[in-house]
Structure 1
Amino acid sequence: MRQFYLQLYRHTLSDDNEDAWVELSGLGLHPDMIQQLAEFGIVEVRQGRVPVRHARRLHRLVRLRQNLGVNLPGAAVILDLLERIEHLEDEIEKLKRNR
């Protein structure tokens, strides 16, 4: 018998307000994990909140862990590399448009 899983997110993280902050309790992650990620420098935590852009990072990191079984430090490295690749791809697109 096949099993299916449904994952629900409590926040819609839009690009409209990059300066917005999200409550940690609404992310559905264990506080110890978020604290460890803050110590690694992956997320910034202030007064029980993280910036929206960091909430997106947390969701990507959780997907890496769940889908690929990567440990926390490994997922953090992969996340950093993916963000660097995205930045470089954006730079390439800018250069192509400015030809």
Structure 2
Amino acid sequence: MRYHSVDDEQTDVEIGVPVPDGVTGEGTIVAGQLPGGRVIVIVHLGGHDRLSEAYNRIEEWLTAHNGPEGAAWEVYEWIDLSTEPDPSRWPAPSEWRTEIVQPVR
């Protein structure tokens, strides 16, 4: 999940999921690619109600260094996208591992 912008009226978000070869986008769904280059990574363990704590730590680091180079993205390590999603089989939110990847200058 990659949030480019979020406000009260509109959100611009990318969602990365595996798709079969040969499938192309339709309508407003298009193929994309994450940028290469330098990043910082933080892993948050727990529910998303406290994910802002990890983002605050990233912001502190960015303030002390060169700053961001584009939008961060989140990798939900607790969801197996190679199978049909089944929320009843997901671990408790206290066990969720979410990786935040922030491109940097």
TM-score range, shorter chain: under 0.3
Q: Which has the higher strand share?
A: 2
Q: Which has the higher helix share?
A: 1
TM-score (norm 2): 0.25
TM-score (norm 1): 0.26
Q: Of the two structures, which has the highest relative contact order with CA contacts closer than 8 Å and spacing of 6 or more?
A: 2
